[in-house]
Structure 1
Amino acid sequence: MAQSTPPVILVGKNPIHLKHGVDMTPLTRLRTEDGVYQSVGVEYYSQGATEENDFSKQGNR
């Protein structure tokens, strides 16, 4: 069966091969001067990934 679109490869220091064309980009307006993602962003997304309900343990919802 022929593929309708070629596989997606995110290039960079460590290229990532996506099996599908879906990717979720950061949803914040965080900007960095040196192009390196800051630890506050990592904390933000890890909190969102671990919450299993609408009520946050941190009380910010």
Structure 2
Amino acid sequence: MKTIRKRKRSEPHTFEQRLDEHRVRLESRLAQLPRGAEREQIAARIEQLRTAVELNAMLSMSE
């Protein structure tokens, strides 16, 4: 008879945590890229993620 194991669910991540994790992944990728269009695009995306975290924090404070 097979034993059925239940998968342990991880804690739900907040919106800010998910944005921050994505930013960290992009920053490590950015460090490996030479200068060029792809590097600039990733740098712009990192800045967008930082802005999103700030805006989310401001909106959360007003609730």
Q: Which protein, 1 or 2, shows the higher relative CO under an 8 Å CA cutoff with sep ≥ 6?
A: 2
Q: Which structure dedicates a bigger proportion of its chain to helix?
A: 2
Structure-2-length-normalised TM-score: 0.28
Larger Rg: 2
The TM-score, its normalising length taken from structure 1, stands at 0.28
